[in-house]
Structure 1
Amino acid sequence: MTQPLRLTQSTELLDLTLIATPSSDNSNSQEIQLAVEGQFRPQVFSLGEGQVKYGLTGGILQFHLQEAYFSSFSEEIKNYLPVIKFPSADHPTWKFALGAGADILETTLDGVPLGTITTNSPNWSLEATYTVGESDILITEIDGLWRHDLRPNKQAVLNRKIVLFLLESQCQSPLISFEMNEKTQGGVLFPVEPIQADPKELLATLEAIKNASSNNFLELCQIANLNPQLDFAGANLRGTTLRGLDLNRAHWSRVNLRGADLTDADLSESNLQGAKLSGADLSGAYLSNANLKEADFHRASLALANLSGAKLQGANLEETNLSQTNLNDCQF
């Protein structure tokens, strides 16, 4: 490899360009400077008689290398994207995530260095993917699909059903592959085409949720065919009523529960890392052995709650009501 190699892959939400530039070339080894360009942009999706505005809040940039390795990493990308997991030589993976309830990513990357790749072989390859999960999509606005005075529990389940549909149909992962050998150098772009998912079934489910006589969160999840423990990571559950529900071992990282009613709810052994719980009522809630790292409890009530064994590193407990709260064996 003697000249810079540049490959671009695009999806609805993201343009991603990798630039591999050789910095030295000798008989023993070669160093390649790897940089990234890209643009994160919001999208509008037409659904029935309405439309959904949405964007990304994070994702995972991951590399797989053959006959090569990252010998160093640059931290400059932290100035452009919210990095919550930094890579290592054994695991060259960046994880990005805005805080719960925050806005979407609308960022442009212009030749941001990622690090240096070293290879001792003329035959090496690199594969890069940017993967989006259900906690990385945020709906910013919904028009024409339901009345805005619909109760928060129904809005939360409706919103989540649409997010999972968008994840399946609109958010495929871009894949870029560099392949080098003694005679050729080049790259492979794998086509990324949105899946043509039929929205008719989704619209029928949305109608069933809107017209349901129940406002119980678990019953609405059953109508929507959603798993309450597994399908709400990063979800918007602001102002919902979850009083007394059994939600133990829920995977609800980065969920927005601002102002929610969680009195006497069982969230023991749940993952609520990075959750936004400001103003929420968790009086009497059971949070034993829960992961509450970096959760925001500003002005929340944890009166009479059981947090024994919970992980609270980095949590915000400013103005939190901790009256008679069980904090035995908590990790701060």
Structure 2
Amino acid sequence: MPAILPDMRSLDSHNKYPDCLWMQLEAIPVPSVAPQTQQLDIHLSLNFNEHWEPLLGGRVKFGLQGGTLKLHLENCEIPVASRQLVGSFKLLPIEETLPIQSSAEILVSESQRGVQGGEKAEKIKETESIFCHVSTISDDTTPAWIFAVEQGKSVLKGLLKSAKLGEITAKEFRMAAAFEVAKEDIYLTDAEGLWPHEITPNQHSVLERILTVYLHANKLKPALSWALLSYNLPPIEQPKEESVPEAESQLQEMVDRIISAETDNFAELAKIANLNPALDFAGSSLRGTTLSAVDFSSANLDRVNFRGATLNDADFSDANLQNAKFGGADLSGAFLGNADLSGADLHKASLALANLSGANLSGANLLEVNLTNTNFSGANVESARFGNNSGIDEEMQVNLQQRGAIFEEV
């Protein structure tokens, strides 16, 4: 009979920023039908919140919009068909985790209480539930799970408690787990002492992106959390963090250049910051910016927050705008031909004179949107939500409904 395997809480693991993400994997022994083999259920717990990071004499707060858990398996596998953590899951509000006296919750709670450094403690009780969408990719020996915050929310907050990933059966094996984030997964929620209050929204959006790129490159690689497990095999070494040359002085220089720039043109500010508008702003906040006639053609703008932005005559042709937020934005005259707006939130935006020919609007929110002279020819409006729209006549409504649009009473 194989030896009893301890769970992963007693094994080699590391959480770089437990305030932001605390990860725990457990390997729970179960009876095995095969002789001389060990069968294990692999369970995952994740606690998401926000983290304050000291930077440039001030500090910045960030959370996660998503991330990817990657497993590397030796002598075992978790086939795609047997993976159980797939779908939408309600994260337990943080207040519900406080009475639970496990090492995970104690560590997270203590981290949250200490993050303010002597100031009034950060509010840790949340009343609103957040859902996390999980999908799985990759082959049987390198399975991965992609996590994403639900539509309409900024960051993941709460606990995914002891969710079963799958099971493995083997005589001997190794497993390495790493939770990785891309720069589009990082969302800044606050900043203090880093720039003057009188900067423009365009400057603010570029400055936030500079900080996000810096944090990703210098603080959050190669992984935010990782854990290692070996059974009847020599343990593998914990991954070493990348050695990154000192970059904070260069960051300060870049921040100063944006603050002192004599232009407020978004494209020019992005150029000063060495940012590519087509590639470097996915997942960012561009709230309240002035982007009239900007060229975002073929850009990756997945999950970007454009709320209240001025976007009239902007070119978004062929752009990826999945799950983007456009609440109250002015898109009058914008060209959105063949753009992917699936899951986008356009509530109370203006699409007057906008061209959405061939665009994908499946699942988008167009409630109370100004649709005066809007071109929907060839657009996919399956499950798109309309209601109380100015500029729309009965003929257009019938046409959109026949193509799968949903009209609601508002």
Q: Same fold judged by TM-score > 0.5?
A: yes
1:216 maps to amino acid:
N
1:10 maps to amino acid:
N
1:105 to 1:141, Cα distance in 2 relative to 1, 3 A: same
Task: After TM superposition, give the deviation of residue 191 of structure 1 in Å.
Answer: 4.2
1:18 to 1:55, Cα distance in 2 relative to 1, 3 A: same
SS of residue paired to 2:290: coil
Alignment size in residue pairs: 328
1:298 to 1:41, Cα distance in 2 relative to 1, 3 A: closer
1:89 to 1:153, Cα distance in 2 relative to 1, 3 A: closer
Task: After TM superposition, give the deviation of residue 198 of structure 1 in Å.
Answer: 2.6
Question: In structure 2, what is the Cα distance between the partners aligned to 1:48 and 1:66?
Answer: 43
Matched, 1:236 2:285: yes
Question: In structure 2, what is the Cα distance between the partners aligned to 1:93 and 1:236?
Answer: 27
Partner of 1:39: 47
SS of residue paired to 2:31: strand
2:28 maps to amino acid:
T
Question: In structure 2, what is the Cα distance between the partners aligned to 1:186 and 1:108?
Answer: 29
SS of residue paired to 2:78: strand
Residue 117 of structure 1 is aligned with which of 148, 167, 170?
167
1:245 maps to amino acid:
V
Alignment of structure 1 residues 1-332 onto 2, 5 Å: 2-6=4-8, 7=11, 8-12=13-17, 13-25=20-32, 26-27=34-35, 30-70=38-78, 72-75=82-85, 78-80=89-91, 82-87=131-136, 90=139, 92-99=143-150, 102-110=153-161, 112-119=162-169, 121-172=170-221, 173=223, 174-181=225-232, 184=233, 186=235, 188-192=237-241, 195=244, 197-331=246-380, 332=382
SS of residue paired to 2:215: helix
Question: In structure 1, what is the Cα distance between the partners aligned to 2:133 and 2:371?
Answer: 29
Please say if residues 36 and 171 of structure 2, whose CA atoms lie closer than 8 Å, have aligned partners that are also in contact: no
SS of residue paired to 1:78: strand
Higher strand share: 1
Question: In structure 2, what is the Cα distance between the partners aligned to 1:186 and 1:5?
Answer: 15
Comparing 28-37 with 266-275, greater Cα deviation is found at 28-37
Comparing 225-234 with 33-42, greater Cα deviation is found at 33-42
Question: In structure 2, what is the Cα distance between the partners aligned to 1:233 and 1:139?
Answer: 13
Task: After TM superposition, give the deviation of residue 122 of structure 1 in Å.
Answer: 1.9
Query: Where does structure 2 lack aligned partners over 5 or more consecutive residues?
Result: 92-129, 383-410
Question: In structure 1, what is the Cα distance between the partners aligned to 2:160 and 2:238?
Answer: 20
CA offsets per residue over residues 42-61 of structure 1, 9 Å max, x none? 32222333221222232111
Please say if residues 68 and 180 of structure 2, whose CA atoms lie closer than 8 Å, have aligned partners that are also in contact: yes
Q: CA RMSD in A?
A: 2.5
1:29 to 1:128, Cα distance in 2 relative to 1, 3 A: same
Task: After TM superposition, give the deviation of residue 128 of structure 1 in Å.
Answer: 1.8
1:3 maps to amino acid:
L
Comparing 246-255 with 129-138, greater Cα deviation is found at 129-138
CA offsets per residue over residues 82-103 of structure 1, 9 Å max, x none? 4334226847332222257734
Partner of 2:118: none
Question: In structure 2, what is the Cα distance between the partners aligned to 1:125 and 1:246?
Answer: 49
Question: In structure 1, what is the Cα distance between the partners aligned to 2:323 and 2:62?
Answer: 21
Question: In structure 2, what is the Cα distance between the partners aligned to 1:131 and 1:107?
Answer: 18
CA offsets per residue over residues 70-117 of structure 1, 9 Å max, x none? 25333498122743342268473322222577343343444x122322
Please say if residues 268 and 289 of structure 1, whose CA atoms lie closer than 8 Å, have aligned partners that are also in contact: yes
Please say if residues 278 and 299 of structure 1, whose CA atoms lie closer than 8 Å, have aligned partners that are also in contact: yes
Question: In structure 2, what is the Cα distance between the partners aligned to 1:197 and 1:34?
Answer: 39
2:6 maps to amino acid:
P
1:62 to 1:39, Cα distance in 2 relative to 1, 3 A: same
Please say if residues 18 and 37 of structure 1, whose CA atoms lie closer than 8 Å, have aligned partners that are also in contact: yes
1:60 maps to amino acid:
T
Task: After TM superposition, give the deviation of residue 175 of structure 1 in Å.
Answer: 3.3
User: What is the identity percentage for the equivalent residue pairs of Structure 1 and Structure 2?
Assistant: 38
Task: After TM superposition, give the deviation of residue 188 of structure 1 in Å.
Answer: 4.7
Question: In structure 2, what is the Cα distance between the partners aligned to 1:166 and 1:50?
Answer: 14
Question: In structure 2, what is the Cα distance between the partners aligned to 1:15 and 1:99?
Answer: 20
Question: In structure 2, what is the Cα distance between the partners aligned to 1:150 and 1:24?
Answer: 63
Please say if residues 33 and 113 of structure 1, whose CA atoms lie closer than 8 Å, have aligned partners that are also in contact: no
1:152 maps to amino acid:
P
Please say if residues 132 and 150 of structure 2, whose CA atoms lie closer than 8 Å, have aligned partners that are also in contact: no
Comparing 78-87 with 245-254, greater Cα deviation is found at 78-87
